[in-house]
Amino acid sequence: MKIDIPADVCQIMDTLTGKSHEAYIVGGCVRDSIRDVVPKDWDITTSATPNQVVEIFPKTFETGVKHGTITVLINRRAYEVTTFRVDGAYLDCRRPEEVIFTADIKEDLSRRDFTMNAIAYNLKHGFVDPFDGHGDIDRKIIRCVGDANARFGEDALRMLRAVRFAGQLGFTVDDEILKAIMINKENLANISAERIREELTKLLCSPYVEAAEILARTGMLSFILKGHEFGGDYAMTLRLLRDCPAHEALRLAIFLAWSGEACEKILRSLRFDNKTIKEVSQYVRLLSDDIPLDRYGIKKYLRHISQAHFENLLTLQAIIRPDDASRLEDIRQESRDIQDSGECYTIGNLTVNGEDLVMAGVPRGKAIGDKLEELLDAVMLEPELNNRLRELF
Would you write out the chain's pLDDT as a tens digit for each of its 393 residues? 899 999 999 999 999 999 999 999 999 999 999 999 999 999 999 999 999 999 999 999 988 777 899 999 999 999 999 999 987 666 665 566 667 899 999 999 999 999 999 999 999 999 999 999 999 999 999 999 999 999 999 999 999 999 999 999 999 999 999 999 999 999 999 999 999 999 999 999 999 999 999 999 999 999 999 889 999 999 999 999 999 999 999 999 999 999 999 999 999 999 999 999 999 999 999 999 999 999 999 999 999 999 999 999 999 999 999 999 999 999 999 999 999 999 999 999 999 999 999 998 999 999 999 999 999 999 999 999 999 888 776
What is the predicted pLDDT for the residue at 390?
82
Strand (E) positions, 47-142? Answer: 60-64, 69-74, 77-83, 85-87, 99-101, 120-122, 126-128, 141-142
- The topology (CATH level 3) of 1-131 is Beta Polymerase; domain 2 (3.30.460)
Map residue 381 onto helix, strand or coil.
helix
What is the predicted pLDDT for the residue at 114?
98
What is the predicted pLDDT for the residue at 63?
81
What is the predicted pLDDT for the residue at 7?
97
Question: In whole angstroms, how far apart are CA 153 and each of 36, 85, 148, 209?
Answer: 32, 19, 8, 26
Distance CA 159, CA 344 (A): 52
Distance CA 173, CA 186 (A): 19
Range(s) of the chain covered by CATH 3.30.460.10? 1-131
- Can you count the helices (H) and strands (E) in the chain? 21, 11
